Amino acid sequence: MAQTKSFCIGIDLGGTNLKAALLDRTCRIIDKRVLSTASFRKKEHLIQAVAGSVDALLVTHKLTKNQVLGVGLGLPGPVDADKGIVHFFPNIPGWKEVDLGRILHRRLGIPVFLDNDANLMSLAEYTLGAARASRNAVCLTLGTGVGGGIIIEGRLYRGSGYAAGEIGHMPLNERGRSCNCGGSACLEAYVGNRRIMKEALAGFGKKISLEELSRLAGAGNSRAVRIWAQAGRRLGVVLSGVVNLLNPDIIVIGGGVANAGRVLFDAIRKTIAQRAMPVQVKSLRVAKAKLGNDAGLIGAAILVQQNSSPTRNLRRSFTQ
């Protein structure tokens, strides 16, 4: 008797961590593993770590490959989702035009599907999270980098080269700081977590984690409040342009930087209200992502299911 393909494996590769999870057909996480990407300096080692994480989940749960619908990967940079090719990663060196989908499929013997990590976060938040009631949404992930995903009339918009949504690489100024993508004055160069931590070091004279900086801001520390408010204003400036262009129902913001809380979100909302056109602002909500650090993994499982059954209405099936 053929075994039922009851599981998906999700991989969320960021500039800091590699997360891998086993999920069921309702996108419930059964098991999750987290590794530091700093442990894998070479491209080949990181690919092996991804494959090894899949193998470990199969062994731990005594699953055969025939029980797995597929592996979905969220990746921190421009990806050709159709061909499975990674163009490059702004914050992880050594990756350029890598045929990762083919490499992993040959290594694992399981269908493999790739997309940008912010796209997968957007799929998850639209299907099961903060953007469920919307038709048009813009989703951001704020972490080592700043990623973006766009939902238009209920469908993920990838662009003609599958590289749409790179809000972190929209210019904040005409001239400014150099960015790892090769551009200058990109939003990411001003509000990525490394930049914020540098500003915290300058302000406090010592290293402070993002978590501590958020705690201090919540307690009313003026220096911490100033750092987060400035980040919020910078985000708001770029998002004002996005709002004017796309007129979304909602902007969903997730990732580690989003945990700064009210001081960050108040500055974003205030800046958008001041800078964007009033018609677009009138119908707009700005909300924190609901699925937290698991959004990328959940989105990876949704990607697998969409590719395995393109006509399936995932919103309906997950809510029945």
Is residue 2 in a domain? no
Tell me, yes or no, whether 114 and 140 share the same domain.
Answer: no
Assess whether 146 and 279 both reside in one domain: yes
Q: By the 8 A CB rule, do 312 and 142 touch?
A: no
Q: Look at the chain and report how many structural domains it folds into.
A: 2
246 is a domain residue: yes
CB atoms inside a 10 Å sphere around CB 256 = 19
**What b/e sequence results for 72-96 when a residue is b if at least 16 CB atoms lie within 10 Å of its CB, and e otherwise?**
bbbbbbbbbbeebbbbbbbbbeebe
Is 126 inside a domain boundary?
no
Range list of β-strands (E), the chain: 7-13, 17-24, 29-36, 68-75, 79-80, 85-88, 96-98, 112-116, 137-142, 146-152, 155-157, 250-254, 285-288
Please indicate, yes or no, whether residues 99 and 205 belong to a single structural domain of this protein.
no
Any domain includes 127 = no
* Same domain (yes/no): 163, 32: no
Q: Residue 275 falls within a domain, yes or no?
A: yes
Q: What is the CATH number of the domain that holds 246?
A: 3.30.420.40
Tell me, yes or no, whether 143 and 255 share the same domain: yes
24 shares a domain with 105: yes
Query: Does 227 lie in the same domain as 98?
Result: no
Backbone angles phi, psi at 10, to 5 degrees: -110, 135
What is the block-wise mean pLDDT of the chain (320 residues), using blocks of 10 residues? 76 87 94 86 89 96 94 92 89 87 95 94 95 94 89 92 90 89 91 91 92 94 96 97 97 90 95 97 95 93 86 45
Whether 137 and 114 map to the same domain: the answer is: no
Looking at residue 103, its pLDDT comes to 95
Residue 238 domain-assigned (yes or no)? yes
Residues 259 and 208 in one domain: yes
* Residue 48 CA to its chain's centroid (Å): 22
Confirm whether 125 is domain-assigned: no
Paired strand residues for 185: none
Residues 281-318: b if buried by 16+ CB within 10 A, e if exposed = beebebbbbebebbbbbbbbbbbbbbbeeeeeebeeeb
pLDDT at 310: 53
- For residues 41 and 100, membership in a common domain is answered with yes
- pTM of the prediction? 0.88
* 268 lies in the same domain as 193: yes
264 C-beta neighbours (distance < 10 Å), count:
28
Residue 263: give the domain boundaries: 132-289
Looking at residue 229, what is its pLDDT?
96
Same domain, 95 and 116: yes
